Each structure stands twice: as C-alpha cells, then as structure tokens.
Amino acid sequence: MARRVERLMLGVPLVPRSIVAIRVTCHQDSKVGMDWMHRFLPMLRYGSPMLEFDFRKLQRAVPEEPKEEAAPESSTPETEDKARRTLCLKAQEPEETPEAPVDAAREHMELEFSDGTRQMLNMDLYVSSHQVMQRILDVDAEKTLSAG
C-alpha cells in the first residue's frame, strides 16, 4: 500500500484544496515525522507553493539526578523523629517512572484549513509516514466536500 500512495503522489501533482498551513511538532529522531517531511513535504510544497509549513522540535528532557541530603551531625531524638517523618512523607508521594515521558508535549501534526479551523493528528498513532499522508489526503477531501 505504501508504494501505491507514493506512485500516485509522484504521478499527479498534489495540491491540497482546503489546507493552508501544516505545523509539525516532533523529536529530531522521530522516524514517522522526519520521514514524512523528507518524503512528502517537498511534493506538497511543489504543488502548492503558498502552503505554510512550520517545524517545532521537541526536546527530550534529561531526568535530574537525585540530590543527596546531608546527614545530621548529631543524632538526637528530635532530629531522628524529623528524619523519620520526612522519609514517610517522601514514601507517600508518587514518583515519576523513568519510562514515562518527561515532557508533556506530544508529537503531533496540526492542519489549518482555509475556513480557519484546525485539526490535530497524533503522530504516535501512525506507524509510517505513508499512513500520515493518507490521513492528510482523507481529511483534505472530507473538508473540501463539507465546504462545497
């Protein structure tokens, strides 16, 4: 299916009818996002030179190293009690897992249409750039039919 979409696009000039701007927000090493920009963006820009494009690179946050707390110099019942309460409070707080994404921003593509509306495409849902391009073509066709 991927080759079919690519052959179709190479054989016919691609002119989006209702899309006026595309904004891609992804990591620099995103396979789907970067492949889409290298493979399909030039064809879109060639067929529609007035199409606006914007790329925003997401930064991967580096997890901070835990800070070691200074041990109390003298061990008194008051300092031991305070240290015990601090440990209990820390144990109750939820900790971030290293597998969880640190940054709240997700990889996505935003399509802006001629009527001023926008649609977001979640890049995490797509396995290949061809699927993203097929979805863009479908959304453009739907928007053109609903406006006409």
What's the whole-model pTM score? 0.64
Helix (H) or strand (E) run with residue 19 in it: strand 19-27
pLDDT tens, position by position, 63-100: 666 655 555 555 566 666 666 555 544 444 444 333 33
Average pLDDT over residues 47-51: 91
Domain ranges, ordered by start, for the chain:
12-60+104-132
Closest CA to 123 of 111, 138, 106, 140: 106
- 142-147 contacts, C-beta under 8 A, 24 or more apart: 143/17, 143/18, 143/19, 143/113, 143/115, 144/17, 144/18, 147/18, 147/114, 147/115
CA atoms of 6 and 133, how far apart (whole Å)? 10
Q: Which CATH architecture has domain 12-60+104-132?
A: 3-Layer(aba) Sandwich (3.40)
- One-character DSSP codes across 117-146: -EEEEEGGG-SSHHHHHHHHHHHHHHHHHH
Q: Please report which residue ranges of 27-114 form alpha helices under DSSP H.
A: 31-39, 41-47, 77-92
Handedness of CA 133, 136, 138, 141 (dihedral sign): negative
Kindly report the backbone phi and psi dihedral angles of residue 111, in degrees, each rounded to the nearest multiple of 5, phi listed first: -105, 130
Highest-confidence segment of 7-11, 58-62, 112-116: 112-116
